[in-house]
Amino acid sequence: MKKFYTALFCLIAFNNLLAQQNNLLASAKKDSSGVFIGDMHATEQVESAGVARQYAITNLKKELEALDKNTKTNLLADAGNSNDRNLNSEIFATYLSRLDKKYKGDVRSIETDNIRDIFQIDQKSEIKRRHSSVISAQCLSNKSDGKFIKMKDLDGEEIIGFPLESFKGNSRYGLVENYHQGFARIKKDQVFGFLNYCGDETIPCQYEKAEPFNDGKALVKKFDWYYVDVYGNESDALENIVDAKALRLGISVAKFKNGKQALIDNSYDVSKKPLSDYYDEITVFNSELYRVRAGKNYGLIKIDGSTKIDAIYDNISATTEQGKWMIIEQNKKVGLMDTEGNIKIKPSFESIMNISVDASLAPNANLGIAKDEAGIRLIDFKDLRTTKTYSSISDFNKYGLAQVKDGKYVGFINLDLKVVIEPVYSTLGNFNNYGLVSACKATVNGGNKCGYIKYDGTEIVPISFDEVANFNRFGLVVVKENVKNCSLPSGNCRVDMVYDKNGNIVIGKTNEAAPIGIKYITTDTLFNGSFIAIKTINPAKNGDDLPIEYNLVERNSLRRITTQSYSSVKRYDSNLLFPVMKDSKWGLIDTTGKIVAKPAYKDIMVTTEGLYGVKYDNNKYGFIDKKGKVQIAFDYDEVRPFNNGLAIVSRGQGKLGVINRFNAKIAPCYFSEVNILPATKQFELLDASGNKFVLNSNGDCVTNCTKFDEIRKLANQ
Query: d(Cα 149, Cα 197) in Å, to the nearest integer?
Result: 10
Comparison of pLDDT for 123 and 302, the residue scoring more: 302
pLDDT at 365 over 60: yes
pLDDT on residue 18: 41
Task: Tell me the average pLDDT across 156-169.
Answer: 91
- Residue 494 vs residue 115, higher pLDDT: 494
Q: What was the pLDDT predicted at 683?
A: 96
Question: pLDDT value at position 25?
Answer: 44
Helices and strands: H and E segment counts in the chain: 8, 57
**pLDDT-derived band at 266, boundaries 50, 70, 90:** very high
pLDDT at 112 exceeding the cut of 80: no
Q: What is the pLDDT of residue 61?
A: 83
Long-range contacts of 457-461 (CB under 8 A, 24+ apart): 457/412, 457/420, 457/421, 457/422, 459/503, 460/436, 460/499, 460/501, 460/502, 460/503, 461/436, 461/499, 461/503
- Domains delineated in the chain: 17-247 (no CATH), 637-717 (2.40.10)
Cα-based torsion angle of the residue sequence 324, 327, 330, 335 in order, rounded to the nearest 10 degrees: 90
* Residue 219 one-letter amino acid: L
pLDDT-derived band at 84 (thresholds 50, 70, 90) equals low
Assign 117 a pLDDT band (cuts: 50, 70, 90).
low
CA angle 341, 345, 350 (to 5 degrees): 115
Confidence band of 86 (pLDDT split at 50, 70, 90): confident
Average pLDDT value over all residues in the chain: 88
Count of CB atoms situated within 10 Å of the CB of 234: 15
Query: Alpha helix (H) ranges present in 68-148?
Result: 89-111, 118-137
Report pLDDT for 1. 35
pLDDT value at residue 39: 87
Is 417's pLDDT higher than 80?
yes
**pLDDT exceeds cutoff 70 at 4:** no
Share of the chain above pLDDT 90, in %: 64
Ordered DSSP codes for 194-247: EE-TTS--SEEEEESEEPPP-SSEEEEESSSEEEEETTS-B----TTEEEEEEE
Q: How far apart are CA 121 and CA 303, in angstroms?
A: 10
**pLDDT in the model for residue 552:** 97
Work out the end-to-end distance of the chain between its first and last CA atoms, rounded to an integer number of angstroms. 126
pLDDT tens digits for 485-508?
Answer: 888 887 788 999 999 999 999 999
Residue 60 pLDDT: 85
pLDDT value at residue 576: 94
Average pLDDT in the 339-362 region? 86
Residues with Cβ within 8 Å of 98's Cβ and at least 6 positions away in sequence, in order, are 75, 76
Instruction: Please choose, from the candidates 317, 396, 313, the residue with its C-alpha nearest in 3D space to the C-alpha of residue 352.
Output: 317
pLDDT digit string (tens) for 424-477?
A: 999 999 999 999 999 999 998 888 999 999 999 999 999 999 999 999 999 999
Q: 134 pLDDT exceeds 60?
A: yes
pLDDT band at 277 (very low <50, low <70, confident <90, very high): very high
Q: What is the pLDDT of residue 113?
A: 59
Tens-digit pLDDT profile for residues 670-697: 999 999 999 999 999 999 999 999 999 8
Confidence band for 326, pLDDT divided at 50, 70 and 90: confident
| pLDDT value at residue 586 | 98
Q: What are phi and psi of 627, to 5 degrees?
A: -100, 0
Sign of CA dihedral 528, 534, 538, 543: positive
Sorting pLDDT into bands at 50, 70 and 90, what band is 9?
very low
Mean pLDDT is lowest, of 11-15, 79-83, 302-306, 513-517, for 11-15
Question: In this predicted structure, what is the pLDDT of residue 7?
Answer: 37
pLDDT tens-digit series, residues 528-548: 999 999 999 999 888 888 999
Q: What is the mean pLDDT of residues 410-421?
A: 95
- Strand-by-strand arrangement of the 467-468 sheet: 467-468, 476-486, 491-500, 505-507
SS3 content of the chain, % helix, strand, coil (to 5): 15, 45, 40
Instruction: Indicate if the pLDDT at residue 366 is higher than 50.
Output: yes
Instruction: List all residues 6 or more positions away from 636 whose beta carbon is below 8 Å from its beta carbon.
Output: 620, 621, 622, 649, 650, 651
For residue 510, pLDDT over 60 is answered with yes
Read off the pLDDT of residues 26-53 as tens digits, 9 standing for 90 and up: 456 777 778 888 888 888 898 888 888 8
Residues in the chain: 717
